[in-house]
Structure 1
Amino acid sequence: MRIGYARVSTAGQELEAQEVALREARCERLYVEKVTGTSTAPRTQLTAMIDQVREGDTVVVTKIDRLARSIIDLNKIVTELIDKGVSVQFLRDNITFEAGKGASSINTLLFNMLGSFAQFERDIIVERTTEGRERAKAAGKHMGRKGQPDKNVQQALDLMANRQSNGMSVSDIVKVTGVPKPTIYAKIKEQTKA
């Protein structure tokens, strides 16, 4: 049986693209969750999937960083699945670890490199967020919804209004402007009431 696993980190992100890709990859069952990948502890769907897969199954994931953001967790999860006789396929990374066959040396190298990049990316995000928070605090700025600079909020609203032409997702707009998704939607709601 082909079993899909999809994950996004926050409630504001969408799972639909991953679910479509997994269904196109002929997955018969999907395990889906919105939870951070920094730890496996709160990931109930991941735990359920690992518990329920059987020898001969294939777990399909769209990208390596959807399975784990730490190289240690990534290796642990894949090793546990392979030890159960379950193959693991990463669609976008074009890597498959077939149970019982062992991984090719090039697949192992790519797997570890991509896993390391996922962990590095997460570490950089945490570092930048912490630095930004500290700079804002030192400058006396309040962090949060009411503390967003007006120019950032306006930029986010402009980008939202032109999403059809600029091709940006809401997540992209949040990343570019730094304005949280709830703030963007609250401002849009305020504008429509006015």
Structure 2
Amino acid sequence: MTKRKKELPLEQREELLQTLKARFEKNMNRHEEVEWAKVQAKLEANVEKLWSLNEMEVTGGEPDVVDYDKKTDEYIFYDCSAESPKGRRSVCYDLEALESRKQHKPENNAIDMAAAMGIELLTEEQYRELQQLGNFDMKTSSWVQTPANIRKLGGAIFCDRRYDTVFVYHNGAESYYAARGFRGSLRV
């Protein structure tokens, strides 16, 4: 079985690039030292990454450049939607958690959704970095990568922002809520 290449049709690529450019220009505080022309050139050379950004976009993530890694020559995108992306809510943490539910199973899980999109869940550190750029998840929460020792015991962690503070909480990995999704990152 051949793997299907993840590539957007030309018209959709151009539309996505316009959306990303407009967001980039509107939110220069997130990437003051970065030039859009260089970002666009990287995106055009990496069609699968552009496909992943489109997946972030269509699920409500509003991806934007938040950093540039000089060592690896990569631009780093995070979901920058005000609240946890709507198209990625009501999911438990991972497949093991999903399979452990006896009833009322959600449709999916955060880890597998992220992998299918070609992105990674934010780490707690990345989530805190994102919160330096604005106020996110004031009404929702987002699963973040959970340390193996916590996951091994059945738990998972998530974050939100309340009272002008970023909080990290725990829950059973099998839990899911209408107001909890996940935010992703992508390196291009």
Q: Give 1 or 2: higher strand fraction.
A: 2
TM-score calculated relative to the size of structure 2: 0.27
Task: Report the structure number with the largest CA radius of gyration.
Answer: 1
Higher RCO, Cα 8 Å, sep 6+: 2
TM-score calculated relative to the size of structure 1: 0.26
